[in-house]
Amino acid sequence: MLGLGTIINVAAIAAGALVGIILKKGIPDRFKNTIMQSIGLAVVIVGISGALQGIFQVIEGGKLDRNFITGMILCLVIGSIIGEILKIEENLDRLGKWFQNKFTEGESGFAKGFVTASLIYCVGAMAIVGSLEDGLYGKIDVLVVKAMLDGICAIVFSATLGWGVLFSVIPVFAYQGTITLLASFLKPILTDVVVSQMSLVGNILILAIGVNLIEVKKFKVGNMLPSIFLPLIYSLFSMLIP
């Protein structure tokens, strides 16, 4: 069944978020702050390790060589410009506030929880690669593993950030479902190189989310989302224009 991996992933996030919401009242604020800082550090490490794995390869003699540096920079710059034009992060925040006013009026931090959880669940390498494998080969192994991890994270996120985490299942379903559907139609251009480049940019954005969580600096990660898909677009144009 096409998209089964995403359905499992969304169900795990929803279940974890509900558990976290139940536990939320029993966690003092000082613990919530420390937990969020810990999560931020963990996300930074995940982003760095994933980015380094995508950039470096072992060549003859056991030496390290770098890949995709120029492409990564161009994707981030051009993708960020596109995102700023489209105001993706602002629209995500506006959507979060709409859900807050519609369903949980009065809860503080709803929009932050919605945007933060949506971005963390969407921009990572597992979301990209897992959705592509689901669409290309019908394999859901990666998304099932991601579902387990996301479900556990959702407990912690919703216990600290509230109901907004639960509603993040909507953009996750739309995002991963769209990638899965497109992958089934774009098999010829989704080479290993293209997928690797998309994963690399995704991990860079994961690093930026981690920095946001520990409040060192605020990156508009939502506006950088188009960067992930530029390697795919470039590959498509390369095929159409010899």
Q: Domain limits at 40?
A: 4-240
Work out the percent of the chain whose per-residue pLDDT is above 70: 97
Q: What is the pTM of this model?
A: 0.80
Once rounded to an integer, what is the mean pLDDT over residues 165-186? 92
Residues 105-160 pLDDT 10s: 666 678 888 998 999 899 877 888 889 989 988 889 889 989 998 998 899 889 88
The residue ranges of DSSP E strands in the chain, in sequence order, are: 56-58, 64-66
Structure confidence at residue 215 as a pLDDT band (50, 70, 90) = confident
Who has greater pLDDT, 104 or 207?
A: 207
Who has greater pLDDT, 219 or 9?
A: 9
Once rounded to an integer, what is the mean pLDDT over residues 52-58? 86
Quick one: tokens of 10?
């969304």
* Overall number of domains in the chain: 1
CA distance 115 to 113: 6
CA distance 203 to 175: 16
What pLDDT, on a 0 to 100 scale, did the predictor assign at position 203? 86
DSSP state string for 190-204: --HHHHHHHHHHHHH
Residues 56-88 pLDDT 10s: 887 777 788 888 889 999 999 999 999 999 999
CA distance 36 to 113: 11
Residues 8-34 pLDDT 10s: 999 999 999 999 998 877 777 777 778
Quick one: tokens of 64?
């390290």
Residues 99-109 pLDDT 10s: 888 776 666 67
